[in-house]
């Protein structure tokens, strides 16, 4: 049976989750995972369209497979996800040896489409309707969510999982391609979400991260007209035994309500970590981006967070060099970062995307070298803030959910039990310490001895394993 699968995933958490689903589905159809495209009969790329760079990486990876495909025409090559939805037939034109193109709304069709290709029926494409290609309900249905049974072996760690509560986006920020690639915003039903969360908890999951493009705008109205919002969903998820941490990304500033903040404050399992992209500190830019709020609105939201959840860690995204951004606009962004003192920020250079309002109407007029300089400048400001923020923890103990060997240990390789381990605090701060692979999945108390802008470096001081405390020697730790 030629069912060896290699899958590569780029982009956001939604894509990581989509790949988990696709792999779980294909495993049920007899596929096994292999570690390189060379060893595979089927090679799939799950792609991202948010910036041009991400797409170019995929086209270049595809280019590398051209010769392999000439030598092994029986190998199946597929492109999934946002770039598949956005580029559609263009992918076949740019890489004629590709056999399969599948949008994010059609992932459940993959086993059937692969079977058709292998039966000699030629190239297959399955994508959703465009935002103007039908009636609202038709378009919505063509972006149906794909959340079949979950397979713990497919997750990076068995004790953490993503759970999609919302698909698509209706905010139409002028720079963003997501409303086109992932379609209209739709909240999944609370019953489905709760079933999936219970299943995950039964599988040993202790941390669930709820996913949505604007997750705090989540709403679902049932047949009787009853509407559920994120706060009510969190209350119900909080009751599930076994779950210890609930996170949710990404938030939309305007929907960070007092009700939601109070819910997070009152539910100890909810992480006091809020990723709320500001995108810019200039009102003129926010208007051109059609973000739907002003800098004053954003600062008011920060005050609400500070008042209700003073211990919260807030992080943000920024786009520099968006259409018409002047030096003054940019300096206002620098001021916003200094004022808000984010835990961390992801900073991107504006990348024009076909199909967006900005690409249609606004010239991409900030030169590349200016974008690069602004990117570095903002990053340097944020780094200083992150460093000072992390240094507050030196000398303190933090509770960490251990995820596994740190990036450094993964690079060094080796399979002995002792290595540098990595975990995260409830506020999403990354912590590394010398430990033991067997600690993955445990909640440990780590004494912080040093801090960088991105990482807390510490030592284990007590090991919580259920009610009893285990001595360090017992689990083979350096003491
Ligand atoms: N160019 C650069 N960055 C973008 N983002 C979204 N669209 C673009 C674009 N066209 C950024 C935003 C968003 C993050 C996921 O990606 O900051 O919050
Ligand atoms: Fe894109 Fe704006 Fe929707 Fe975020 S809120 S996915 S930036 S359109």
At residue 479 the predicted structure's pLDDT band, cuts being 50, 70 and 90, is very low
Q: How far apart are CA 247 and CA 212, in angstroms?
A: 11
Q: Assess if residue 34 is contained within a domain.
A: yes
Q: Assess if residue 141 is contained within a domain.
A: no
Which residue has a Cα nearest atom 4 of ligand 2? 213
Helices (H) and strands (E) in the chain, counts: 17, 22
Q: Which residue has the tokens 């108390």?
A: 445
Protein residues whose CB sits closer than 6 Å to any atom of ligand 2: 169, 171-173, 176, 178-179, 213-214, 252
Same domain assignment for residues 168 and 260: yes
Q: How far is CA 53 from the centre of its chain?
A: 17
Range scoring the smallest mean pLDDT among 30-34, 52-56, 139-143: 139-143
Same domain assignment for residues 171 and 221: yes
Q: Assess if residue 144 is contained within a domain.
A: no
- The model's pLDDT over 281-329, given as tens digits with 9 standing for 90+, comes to 999 999 999 999 999 999 999 999 999 999 999 999 999 999 999 999 9
Residue ending a domain, among 390, 414, 429, is: 390
Answer with the residue of higher pLDDT: 204 or 151. 204
Interval 179-198 mean pLDDT: 93
CA–CA distances in Å: residue 391 to residues 140, 337, 427, 433, 454: 47, 18, 15, 16, 11
- The model's pLDDT over 394-452, given as tens digits with 9 standing for 90+, comes to 999 999 999 999 988 887 777 778 899 999 999 999 999 999 999 999 999 999 999 99
Residue ending a domain, among 390, 409, 434, is: 390
pLDDT at 380: 98
- The model's pLDDT over 189-201, given as tens digits with 9 standing for 90+, comes to 999 999 999 999 9
CB 349 within 8 A of CB 323: no
- How far is ligand 2, taken at its centre, from the CA of residue 214, in Å? 7
Q: How far apart are CA 55 and CA 63, in angstroms?
A: 12
- The model's pLDDT over 231-264, given as tens digits with 9 standing for 90+, comes to 999 999 999 999 999 999 999 999 999 999 999 9
pLDDT at 154: 73
Which residue has a Cα nearest atom 13 of ligand 1? 317
Q: Which residue has the tokens 């004022």?
A: 339
Residue ending a domain, among 271, 290, 307, is: 271
Averaged confidence pLDDT in the chain = 92
Q: Assess if residue 140 is contained within a domain.
A: no
- Give the number of the atom of ligand 1 that is nearest the alpha carbon of residue 277: 18
pLDDT at 136: 81
- The model's pLDDT over 108-123, given as tens digits with 9 standing for 90+, comes to 999 999 999 999 999 9
- How far is ligand 1, taken at its centre, from the CA of residue 50, in Å? 6
Same domain assignment for residues 236 and 328: no
At residue 147 the predicted structure's pLDDT band, cuts being 50, 70 and 90, is low
pLDDT at 455: 98
pLDDT at 156: 79
Q: Assess if residue 441 is contained within a domain.
A: yes
Q: Assess if residue 15 is contained within a domain.
A: yes
Cβ burial, residue 275 (10 Å; 0-12/13-18/19+) = buried
- Region of 20 please: left (phi>0), alpha (psi -120 to 50) or beta: alpha
Protein residues whose CB sits closer than 6 Å to any atom of ligand 1: 50-51, 175-176, 277, 279, 317, 319, 348, 350-351, 353
CATH number of residue 238's parent domain: 3.30.750.210
End-to-end CA distance of the chain: 51
Q: Which long-range contacts (CB under 8 A, 24 or more apart) does 467-473 make?
A: none
pLDDT at 150: 73
**How many structural domains are present in the chain?**
4
Taking the model in full, what pTM does it have?
0.92
CA–CA distances in Å: residue 419 to residues 192, 410, 414, 425: 39, 9, 9, 19
Ligand nearest to the CA of 251: 2
Which residue has a Cα nearest atom 14 of ligand 1? 317
pLDDT at 139: 76
Best probe residue, ligand 1, of 14, 51, 357 (max atoms within 8 Å of C-beta): 51
At residue 478 the predicted structure's pLDDT band, cuts being 50, 70 and 90, is very low
Interval 458-470 mean pLDDT: 61
Ligand nearest to the CA of 179: 2
Sign of torsion, CA 330 335 338 340? negative
CA dihedral 194, 197, 203, 204 (to 10 degrees): -130
- The model's pLDDT over 40-49, given as tens digits with 9 standing for 90+, comes to 999 999 999 9
Q: How far apart are CA 4 and CA 35, in angstroms?
A: 10
Same domain assignment for residues 193 and 246: yes
Same domain assignment for residues 37 and 91: yes
Q: Assess if residue 150 is contained within a domain.
A: no
Ligand nearest to the CA of 216: 2
Q: How far apart are CA 459 and CA 478, in angstroms?
A: 9
Q: How far apart are CA 445 and CA 468, in angstroms?
A: 14
Best probe residue, ligand 2, of 214, 218, 291, 359 (max atoms within 8 Å of C-beta): 214
Answer with the residue of higher pLDDT: 195 or 475. 195
At residue 468 the predicted structure's pLDDT band, cuts being 50, 70 and 90, is very low
Same domain assignment for residues 432 and 465: yes
Token duo for residue 207: 């941390």
Buried/exposed code over 38-62 (b: 16+ C-beta within 10 A; e: otherwise): eebbbbbbbbbbbbeebbebbbebb
- How far is ligand 2, taken at its centre, from the CA of residue 50, in Å? 10
Q: Assess if residue 255 is contained within a domain.
A: yes
Phi, psi of 311 (to 5 degrees): -90, 5
Same domain assignment for residues 333 and 211: no
Range scoring the smallest mean pLDDT among 134-148, 155-169, 255-269, 337-351: 134-148
- How far is ligand 1, taken at its centre, from the CA of residue 330, in Å? 16
Best probe residue, ligand 2, of 176, 279, 288 (max atoms within 8 Å of C-beta): 176
Best probe residue, ligand 1, of 179, 319, 361 (max atoms within 8 Å of C-beta): 319
Interval 274-280 mean pLDDT: 98
Q: Residue 165 is part of which domain span?
A: 155-271
- Give the number of the atom of ligand 2 that is nearest the alpha carbon of residue 214: 5
- How far is ligand 2, taken at its centre, from the CA of residue 329, in Å? 21
């Amino acid at each position: 049976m030629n069912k060896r699968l290699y899958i590569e995933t780029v982009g956001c958490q939604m894509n990581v989750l989509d790949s988990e689903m696709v792999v779980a589905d294909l495993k049920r159809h007899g596929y096994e995972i292999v570690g390189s495209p060379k060893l595979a009969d089927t090679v799939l790329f799950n792609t991202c369209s948010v910036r041009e760079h991400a797409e170019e990486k995929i086209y270049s990876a595809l280019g590398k497979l051209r010769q392999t495909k000439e030598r092994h025409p029986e190998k199946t090559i597929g492109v999934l996800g946002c770039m598949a939805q956005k580029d559609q037939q263009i992918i076949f034109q740019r890489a004629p040896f590709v056999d399969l193109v599948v949008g994010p709304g059609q992932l459940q069709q993959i086993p059937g489409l692969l079977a058709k290709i292998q039966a000699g029926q030629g190239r297959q494409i399955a994508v959703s309707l465009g935002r103007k290609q039908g009636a609202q309900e038709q378009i919505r249905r063509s972006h149906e969510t794909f959340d079949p049974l979950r397979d713990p072996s497919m997750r990076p760690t068995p004790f953490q999982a993503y759970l999609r509560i919302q698909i698509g986006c209706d905010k139409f920020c002028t720079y963003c391609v997501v409303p086109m690639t992932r379609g209209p915003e739709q909240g999944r039903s609370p019953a489905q979400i709760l079933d999936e969360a219970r299943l995950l908890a039964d599988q040993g999951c202790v941390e669930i991260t709820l996913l949505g493009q604007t997750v705090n705008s989540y709403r679902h109205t049932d047949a009787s007209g009853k509407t559920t919002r994120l706060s009510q969903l969190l209350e119900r998820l909080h009751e599930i035994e076994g779950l210890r941490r609930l996170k949710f990304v990404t938030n939309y500033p305007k929907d960070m309500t007092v009700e939601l903040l109070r819910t997070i404050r009152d539910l100890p399992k909810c992480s006091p970590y809020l990723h709320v992209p500001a995108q810019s500190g200039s009102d003129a830019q926010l208007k051109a981006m059609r973000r739907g709020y002003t800098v004053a609105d954003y600062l008011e939201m920060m005050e609400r967070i500070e008042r209700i959840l003073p211990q919260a860690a807030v992080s943000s995204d920024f786009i520099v060099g968006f259409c018409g951004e002047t030096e003054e606009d940019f300096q206002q962004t620098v001021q916003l970062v200094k004022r808000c003192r984010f835990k961390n920020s992801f900073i991107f250079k504006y990348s024009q995307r076909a199909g967006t309002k900005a690409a249609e109407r606004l010239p991409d007029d900030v030169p590349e070298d200016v974008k690069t300089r602004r990117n570095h400048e903002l990053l340097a400001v944020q780094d200083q803030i992150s460093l000072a923020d992390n240094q507050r923890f030196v000398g303190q103990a933090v509770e960490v959910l251990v995820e596994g060997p740190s990036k450094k240990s993964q690079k060094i390789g080796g399979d002995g039990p002792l290595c540098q381990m990595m975990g995260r605090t409830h506020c999403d701060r990354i912590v590394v310490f010398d430990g033991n692979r067997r600690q993955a999945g445990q909640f440990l108390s780590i004494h912080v001895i040093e801090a960088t802008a991105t990482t807390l470096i510490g030592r284990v001081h007590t090991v919580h394993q259920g009610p009893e405390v285990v001595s360090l020697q017992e689990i083979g730790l350096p003491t």
